[in-house]
Amino acid sequence: MASRAGGDSGGTLIVRGQANLLDDITAMADLERIRVLFETLETKEMMLRVLDLTDKAAGVQIFLGAENELFKQTGCSIVVAPYRSSQETIVGAIGVIGPTRMNYARIIPLVDYTAKLIGDYIG
C-alpha cells in the first residue's frame, strides 16, 4: 500500500505492506524483480511522481508495469485513487501495488471505496 498525505510542500509518503509482495515468489527472477521494486520505492521520488498523477485524475488510476517507468523492470502495477476533503481538495492518495496480472476486478473497487471512506472520515 502506498499513501500520500499533506500538501505539495509538506506531504508525507507512507509505504506499507512490502513484505506481502514476497508471499508468492516462485523463482529467483521474481525475487530479483521485487528487489528492484524495493530499491525504487526507497527513493520515493518515482512513487511521488506516480501519486502526483492522481491529482489530475477524477478517480482510480491504474499504472501497468510495462507502461510505467517505476514498474517497467518489476512486472508490477499500481492501482491508486486520491482522497479528498469536504472542500473537494485532494489531501492524499491510497493504492495497491501488485503483480501485473492481479485481480483488477476486485482491487479497483476496493481502492476506490477505501479512498472515499478516508475522504469521508477526514471530511
94-104 pLDDT tens trace: 888 888 888 99
- Parse the chain into domains and list their residue ranges: 2-122
Decide which of 76 and 24 is more confident: 76
pLDDT (average), residues 111-122: 91
pLDDT, tens digit (0-9, with 9 covering 90-100), for 17-67: 666 655 655 655 667 777 777 777 777 676 677 667 777 767 898 888 777
Q: Which residue type does 98 have?
A: G
- Against a cut of 0.85, is the pTM above it? no
Do 13 and 4 meet the contact criterion of CB atoms below 8 Å apart?
Answer: yes
Looking at 2.60.40.1840, 3.30.450.40, 3.40.630.30, 3.50.50.60, the CATH number of the domain 2-122 comes to 3.30.450.40
Residue 75 bridge partners (DSSP): none
Residues sharing a CB contact under 8 Å with residue 53, sequence separation 6 or more, in sequence order: 61, 63
- DSSP, collapsed to helix, strand or coil, labels residue 33 as helix
Expressed in angstroms, the distance from the first to the final Cα of the chain is: 22
